[in-house]
A = this chain, B = another copy of it.
Amino acid sequence: MIKVGIVGGTGYTGIELLRILAFHPQVEITVITSRSQTGTKVSDLFSNLRGHLELSFTNLTPKLLADQCEVVFFATPHGVAMDTVAELLSYGTRVIDLSADFRLSDPALWERWYGQPHTAPDLLSEAVYGLPEINKNKISKARLVACPGCYPTTVQLGFLPLLEENIIELTTLIADAKSGVSGAGRKAAIGTSLCEASENFKAYSVAGHRHHPEIVQGLSQVCDTAINLTFVPHLVPMIRGIHATLYAQLKKEVDVQALFELRYTNSPFVDILPPNSHPETRSVRGSNMCRIAVHRPSKEDNRIVILSVTDNLVKGASGQAVQNMNLMFDLPETTGLTGISLMP
């Protein structure tokens, strides 16, 4: 059994880690920390866990945390993990960070988008970007994994095969992305209240969103060239799910459907739908799957449209973090991650 700790267990990625890890056959959750809820039983805060988890929130020093954990997940806001990771690593504990702290390899870029100094720039080169569909080998050996954001996961998986094969124009990429409200995290805010966010649809952060540089970094590395991307996120009146509608222009004629199917043959969590499909976010709700459909709407132009859906809290966060843990600990990649989505 892998001894696992979770730092910051009161947010949505934290509780989702608990839901997944409570059923993981190779994991023992030894610690869950929360400064605000120290002493509270986890299942008193999240009633779905009643009968499934007896743990209470604690507040430990890194040393004590390391004593009890082989691996620690950070489910914290950005700016927290970077202060503690070095010490944890020094004790031999591995770290899977679900926050944004180690996603961008350029500390100056990070500081520009996150508006504060980066306190662990030395670790940026060691941190492995935790998108298993690209970095499986590096992840398996990593001490520190930076899990991708929810939009970056969904968008990159959709563009990946096209860029690897160098068959699309690199200057005209568009990602029109739509997210359920849980992407904003578990927090008190008027904008995400039911009265404001339901029966409503809107774009936000069109002038610039923190996931934009992350996607650009990832896709540019894939094709070894700086790509240009227009990224427009929108808020959908639902709890979970991301739908990315991706637009690109083909440079040459290829069988894109076959390309995608081949590319993801060995990726258990990427499902390429049959031609002319429209993936639904609910088909991945609570599941670690990313489902993708490929479209060529008109033969008169060279535009292709890729539809990619994930659950932002699972493949876009906590599920992918567990997928990374499985790789780091030489377990089958799908261990503990085979739950089926609720429909309806």
Contact = CB atoms under 8 A, between A and B. Distances in A.
A199 B238 contact: yes
Contacts of A174: 174, 247, 303
Interface string A159-189: 0000000000001101010101110001111
A282 B47 CA distance: 9
Contact of A245 (B234, B303, B309): B234
A280 B47 contact: yes
Interface residues of A, number: 87
A305 B230 contact: yes
A216 B281 CA distance: 30
Given A192-B194, A200-B281, A297 B207 contact: yes
* Central interface residue in A189, A239, A240, A281, by most chain B CB within 10 Å: A239
Interface stretch (A68-76, A123-131, A255-263, A335-343): A335-343
Interface in A304-344: 305, 307, 309, 338-344
Contacts of A186: 190, 193, 195, 344
Interface in A29-71: 46-52
B193 A276 contact: no
Given A193-B194, A236-B236, A241-B201, A48 B340 contact: yes
A204 B278 contact: yes
Interface stretch (A105-113, A138-146, A283-291): A283-291
* Central interface residue in A23, A52, A279, A343, by most chain B CB within 10 Å: A343
Main secondary structure of the interface of A (DSSP, over half): loop
A239 B344 contact: yes
Contacts of A1: none
Contacts of A52: 338, 340
B287 A203 contact: no
* Central interface residue in A51, A197, A237, A338, by most chain B CB within 10 Å: A237
Interface string A215-235: 000000000000010111010
Given A19-B343, A199-B241, A200-B238, 17 more contacts: A47-B291, A49-B340, A52-B338, A174-B174, A176-B176, A176-B247, A181-B194, A181-B195, A186-B190, A188-B189, A194-B197, A200-B282, A202-B280, A206-B297, A207-B297, A232-B297, A234-B245
19 contacts: A19-B342, A23-B338, A50-B283, A172-B249, A174-B247, A182-B195, A182-B344, A194-B197, A200-B280, A202-B243, A202-B280, A203-B245, A203-B278, A206-B295, A208-B297, A230-B297, A236-B237, A237-B238, A342-B342
